[in-house]
Structure 1
Amino acid sequence: MRYLTMRFLPVCIILAHIVFTNAAFAQNFRASVVKVDITPDNSQQLLGYQARKSTGVHDKIYHRIAAMDDGKTQFYIISTDICLISPSQYDKLTARLQKQLGITPMQVWWAATHTHSAPEVGPAGLPSVFLGDRYKHEFDAQYTDLVEQKIVDGMVEAKKNLAPAKLGTGWGSSNANINRRARSIEGKTSLGMNPDGPVDRRIGLLRLEKADGSLLALIANYAMHGTVMSGENLLISGDGPGIVSEYVEQKTGAPLLYINGAAGNIAPIYSVYPSPAAGRLNQFKAMLGEKIIDASKTITATSNQVTLKAAGTIVEIPRKEGLGWPDDLKNYTRTTKAGVNMIRLPVRFLKVNDDVAIWSAPLELFCEISNEVRDRSPFPYTFYFGYTNGWLGYLLAEEELQYGGYEPTVSPYAPGAAKSLTEAVVNYLQGDMRSGH
């Protein structure tokens, strides 16, 4: 018996070491969050609506950066209180991050909250093709450089501050939005309100906690245009998304990264008013901010056993015939041997453990598309992050093309785009992402 005990003791020690090592690796999840003020101290061209310059500041605007590390993969999400950026600006930033910090583009998502009351950042990109009258001026290179530098500085700080953490996921709901494709009796469509139109009122939520269980940060995914205020407003503001983020932070003591969803056809319930007061901007604290806080309280099953997997694919979609293309986006188009001009649409994916799938695209997507992807996804938590890593236009639900209106006019995609994107994303979720390849 003593011989057998001595013989099997080393085996037991080895097995115990393997179990302990695997447990230690699984519990090696770390996270951090950084908030950086990017409010300009001078007048700026505002992006959204007609060309116009700011006359002051209503509320400050920020970068909010969340960093996550599972011991093997580092991943960064940046939420910025701006309207949108060209994909070329994202490429410029990520090339710098890779050179200076060794962080690859696949590890970084840069999402714009889509407020229409914040300064331009970088070149106009695709909007200049449809709305050239808005971009007869040069963009402010000095402010753009400041915005970029503050991301780099924030990423350095976020990487340095990584600490043991836990993560949880949940759903919430808010009635703060409404379909904006108003339909006349003749079937014509204009920007307005359509209470009977498709909408997505779910709040997708990631809760990051410190090792002791206290709140580190919230990442809230909700579809809503940043258009509480109209083009008459000349004050810099985060609009609805910014006001909600600041309110949640004041109430919880932790930053909120607001990540817009498929808001291409979704407006705030109070929309395009001349001023914050007229637009009831503060009411969004209750309509959406409180709903985010309530939803975060229901996430009780947080864990330090987290694995992250980042991936991406290119979906090619024919663009409209005769449509021009900006010089800074040459990497996002190609011409087939048959002479068809294709848009090369980058779609990114993030898998968190086996139950969370997040996909993103540089699109102003109609909610019907992301709703269908979510319904067909094998993952119980499937979120769409819109306005991410640039902007390549509106991509509409196919049935909406017949009604015309603003969005079909400024969409660069030929008919059939919705089906092409939907099938590509669903196939990836059901195939490579589910299998873990």
Structure 2
Amino acid sequence: MENNLLQAGTAITDITPPLEVGLLTSSVAGTYAPFTSVRLPLKARVLVLVSGSEKVALVSLDLLALNDTSVDGWEDFKAALSDNITPDNIVLTCTHTHTAPESVALSDLYLTAAYRQWLHEIKIRIRKAIQQALQSTKPCSISIGSSRLEGYSLQRRVPTTGGITMSDALQPVSPEMMEREPVDRRVHAIRFQDSNGAAIGTIIHAVCHPVHEMCLPHVSPDFPGELCIALEEGATMERGSVTASANGGGTRSAAHANNTPLDCGVVIFLNGAAGDINPPTVSGGADDARRHGQALANAVREAVWITPAAGGLAFEHLEMDFPVRSTVNVSNPLDALARINAVAIGPLAIVFLPGEPFTDTALEIEYRSPFAYTLIAAYAENSIGYIPTAEAYEAGGYEAGPGKWSFLEPVTAQLMEAAALHLLDQLNNKTRKRL
């Protein structure tokens, strides 16, 4: 009989580039510049999940983005990452830090020898990390935490008499601007713990552009890296307690003080649909990134947790071509091929969307999901640029392009939403058959 018990394993590896593998200085002009120093190293953090014959690897990269052009062929790149997990079941996500290499072919950096050597090395390191995580898997259960973080994110597209303006151009940010919708300030955590209650790893999901250090000439994972460091080092917390009901929901009980450290194991950061979400200030520097990361860590420590009913692992993958605008020259059609993934763990589903979708799209998918808990992760797999809503396209602004950073037709968000809901329905049917 097949053993469907959920197992998890983790690993971390360094993917810091040499300084000449530089940062994006202008997506419009297609320019890059070398780094001058390394403030913090970039990491690849891996979580491998196994249940019966199903194996899934979630890989969070401290990178801006990746696409078919920048990795010299997406399918070959993925195929080289493991002999034990099928390429479609390896889900790559980027934290979208802007102080990482220009790794999405917006400039000519991807053609340089230094970049190609770095790409070769990180492919080997990710492969070794996936193998290490797979070898370390052990039976586990999950708990789900939820919290909020106020004051660190806002709707960045601001209508003015001159058109849509970015919020960071309107300083200081007013209280009214901070309250503009849509914005998602929820913080989610999924903790995988072994039979002794020790953490194997923890997924953290939050929604915001990591641009505290944008265009500053040092390597840094920005606030996602600071978050991971803060939680992996551990600290005291006060947490709330929730008892789960049989249908996957939870009933809240009184919060109680707990002076034990919050053990997170390896922390995997998943950025949400942050295409239209920024922090209040941009390019403020390392102190801003550190404050944001530590504030997120505190939000996780203060989360209310539930333990859902046990459930197995299921995975779905699809690929589809989205329509490219006739006004944009996309030299490699595979850069417009969307790879969408969804994984279910009991009553929890995580949808992995490519490119930079907007908050409204994620909220609509979540609202219509058949699962009790649904997270929408963006910046996954090969980047296909910004995915504004149809209304945002009509309003204009940077995210609407057109350009290498925004080249798809306005109907794309609607098509992506339908594809994500299709995957969720397939997952739901698969998990119900196993009950």
Which category of TM-score, normalised to the shorter sequence, fits these structures?
A: 0.7 to 0.9
AA of the residue aligned to 2:344? K
8 Å CA contact 1:207–1:299 kept in 2: the answer is no
AA of the residue aligned to 2:21? Q
- Is 2:316 the partner of 1:321? no
CA distance in 2, matches of 1:316, 1:306: 33
CA distance in 1, matches of 2:189, 2:286: 27
Give 1:182 shift: 2.5
2:221 aligned partner: 238
Cα gap change, 1:187 to 1:140, in 2 (>3 Å):
closer
CA distance in 1, matches of 2:312, 2:25: 38
- Is 2:156 the partner of 1:180? yes
2:139 aligned partner: 164
Q: Number of matched residues?
A: 384
2:64 aligned partner: 83
Can you list the C-alpha shifts for 1:1-24, whole angstroms capped at 9, x where unaligned?
xxxxxxxxxxxxxxxxxxxx68xx
Please give the residue correspondences for 1:274-313 in structure 2 after superposition, counting only pairs within 5 Å: 275-277=285-287, 280-295=288-303, 298-301=304-307, 305-313=310-318
Give 1:140 shift: 1.1
8 Å CA contact 2:8–2:50 kept in 1: the answer is yes
Can you list the C-alpha shifts for 1:344-385, whole angstroms capped at 9, x where unaligned?
4221111222x2121112211111100111111121211111
Give the counterpart of 1:418 among 405, 413, 417: 413
Give 1:144 shift: 1.1
8 Å CA contact 1:189–1:404 kept in 2: the answer is no
CA distance in 2, matches of 1:30, 1:225: 32
Give 1:42 shift: 4.3
TM-score, length basis structure 2:
0.81
Cα gap change, 1:139 to 1:415, in 2 (>3 Å):
farther
CA distance in 2, matches of 1:331, 1:190: 30
Can you list the C-alpha shifts for 1:309-360, whole angstroms capped at 9, x where unaligned?
1112234432101321233xx445xxxxxxxxxx44221111222x212111
CA distance in 2, matches of 1:47, 1:80: 17
AA of the residue aligned to 2:10? V
8 Å CA contact 2:316–2:423 kept in 1: the answer is no
Cα gap change, 1:78 to 1:402, in 2 (>3 Å):
same
8 Å CA contact 1:189–1:403 kept in 2: the answer is no
- Is 2:328 the partner of 1:347? no
8 Å CA contact 2:8–2:49 kept in 1: the answer is yes
8 Å CA contact 1:120–1:139 kept in 2: the answer is no
8 Å CA contact 2:213–2:222 kept in 1: the answer is yes
Moved more, 262-271 or 315-324: 315-324
CA distance in 2, matches of 1:108, 1:97: 8
Please give the residue correspondences for 1:94-105 in structure 2 after superposition, counting only pairs within 5 Å: 94-98=78-82, 101-105=83-87
CA distance in 1, matches of 2:126, 2:423: 30
Give 1:114 shift: 0.5
Give 1:209 shift: 0.6
SS of structure 2 residue aligned to 1:402:
helix
Give 1:245 shift: 1.2
CA distance in 2, matches of 1:29, 1:199: 34
CA distance in 1, matches of 2:59, 2:191: 16
2:241 aligned partner: none
SS of structure 1 residue aligned to 2:410:
coil
Cα gap change, 1:268 to 1:92, in 2 (>3 Å):
farther
Cα gap change, 1:301 to 1:39, in 2 (>3 Å):
same
8 Å CA contact 2:145–2:300 kept in 1: the answer is no
8 Å CA contact 1:318–1:413 kept in 2: the answer is yes
CA distance in 2, matches of 1:40, 1:139: 9
2:429 aligned partner: 435
AA of the residue aligned to 2:307? A
8 Å CA contact 2:144–2:191 kept in 1: the answer is yes
8 Å CA contact 1:167–1:306 kept in 2: the answer is no
Cα gap change, 1:139 to 1:398, in 2 (>3 Å):
farther
- Is 2:165 the partner of 1:189? yes
SS of structure 1 residue aligned to 2:166:
strand
Can you list the C-alpha shifts for 1:270-302, whole angstroms capped at 9, x where unaligned?
3222x323xx2221134211112222xx33526
Cα gap change, 1:400 to 1:41, in 2 (>3 Å):
closer
AA of the residue aligned to 1:288? L
AA of the residue aligned to 1:106? D
1:398 aligned partner: 390
- Percent identity between the aligned chains? 22
AA of the residue aligned to 1:164? P
Please give the residue correspondences for 1:46-61 in structure 2 after superposition, counting only pairs within 5 Å: 46-47=23-24, 49=26, 50-61=31-42
1:223 aligned partner: 207
RMSD over aligned Cα atoms: 2.4
2:361 aligned partner: 369
Structure number, greater radius of gyration: 1
SS of structure 2 residue aligned to 1:371:
helix
8 Å CA contact 2:19–2:34 kept in 1: the answer is no
